[in-house]
């Protein structure tokens, strides 16, 4: 009987440990932490994409500015030739005027392109500032949740360690064969392999045993519930 009492004590300890481990893995703060972590990953990806877009816009704006500068220099040269008119036929002058007109139109078009690129750059910069500010807030939320989780885990881990210590003291007092049966049943009985038989009711499956069934249970070694086959300790 002492071995059975110790087994029931072991079950109490194991059930306490199981509950703590379940609570540990299902803290409300953990779900919030996962959501914040996913949001942070999304923000990091959005920022990286915005930064890549900004680099492309910077290159495009630089290219447009460079091409526009070349066209402006060419316009100045052609206009100088046009105004000088030295050695040019009327036909050459006509072609030169057309060239200058075409260059000025192209410069105007490139100015419009450059302005559009600058507007896009400004929008990207504003977006990056907004995303960066949100990321800072999300990082702060994540850090606060990490601290909250660590604090709660510390309390639980200390309690688990206390129960584990009591378990190490209890196990040697249990008959090895009884302990082996207990360990065999635990995984297939939702963690509860031993239960008290109180007022004829099994503490595992909560079914009532008749008087005859209780006599049969108490005569078996070890006593086991006729319904759920858990090890029973009569109280």
Window from 8-12, 22-26, 95-99, 175-179 with minimum mean pLDDT: 95-99
pLDDT at 26: 95
Split at pLDDT 50, 70, 90, the class of 83 is confident
Q: What is the DSSP letter of 95?
A: H
Residue pLDDT, tens place only, 208-233: 999 999 999 999 999 999 999 999 99
Q: Which residues make Cβ contacts (< 8 Å) with residue 176, sequence separation at least 6? A: none
Average pLDDT over residues 5-30: 97
Window from 44-53, 93-102, 115-124 with minimum mean pLDDT: 93-102
Task: Identify which of 113, 119, 98 has the alpha carbon closest to the alpha carbon of residue 68.
Answer: 113
Beta bridge partners of residue 231, listed in sequence order? 194, 224
Phi, psi of 198 (to 5 degrees): -115, 125
Mean pLDDT of the chain: 93
Half-sphere exposure at residue 196, Cβ-oriented, CA atoms within 13 angstroms: 9
Average pLDDT over residues 51-66: 92
Output the six-digit token pair for 90.
Answer: 């009327």
Percent share of the chain, pLDDT over 70: 98
Average pLDDT over residues 75-100: 78
Average pLDDT over residues 18-46: 97
Residue 1: is its pLDDT beyond 60? no
Task: Identify which of 78, 120, 72, 70 has the alpha carbon closest to the alpha carbon of residue 99.
Answer: 78
Split at pLDDT 50, 70, 90, the class of 24 is very high
Window from 72-81, 136-145, 175-184 with minimum mean pLDDT: 72-81
All domains in the chain, ordered by first residue: 26-171 (1.10.287.1700), 177-234 (no CATH)
Q: Which run of H or of E encompasses 206?
A: none
Half-sphere exposure at residue 44, Cβ-oriented, CA atoms within 13 angstroms: 8
What is the number of other CB atoms lying within 10 angstroms of the CB of residue 87? 7
Residue 149: is its pLDDT beyond 70? yes
CA of residue 3 relative to chain centroid, distance: 46
């Amino acid at each position: 009987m002492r071995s059975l009492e110790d087994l029931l004590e072991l079950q109490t300890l194991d059930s306490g440990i199981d509950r703590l481990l379940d609570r540990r893995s299902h803290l409300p703060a953990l779900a919030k932490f996962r959501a914040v972590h996913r949001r942070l990953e999304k923000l990091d990806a959005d920022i990286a994409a915005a930064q890549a877009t900004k680099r492309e816009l910077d290159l495009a704006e630089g290219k447009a500015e460079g091409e526009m500068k070349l066209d402006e220099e060419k316009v100045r040269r052609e206009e100088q030739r046009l105004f000088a008119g030295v050695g040019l036929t009327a036909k050459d002058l006509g072609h030169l005027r057309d060239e200058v007109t075409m260059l000025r139109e192209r410069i105007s078009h490139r100015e419009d392109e450059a302005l559009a690129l600058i507007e896009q750059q400004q929008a990207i910069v504003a977006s990056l500032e907004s995303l960066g500010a949100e990321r800072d807030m999300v990082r702060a939320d994540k850090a606060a949740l990490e601290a909250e989780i660590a604090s709660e885990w510390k309390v639980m881990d200390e309690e688990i360690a206390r129960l584990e210590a009591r378990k190490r003291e209890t196990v040697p007092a249990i008959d090895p064969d009884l302990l082996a049966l207990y360990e065999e049943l635990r995984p297939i009985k939702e963690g509860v392999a031993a239960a008290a038989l109180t007022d004829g009711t099994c503490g595992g499956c909560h079914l009532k045993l008749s008087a005859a069934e209780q006599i049969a249970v108490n005569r078996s070694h070890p006593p086991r519930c006729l319904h759920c086959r858990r090890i029973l300790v009569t109280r």
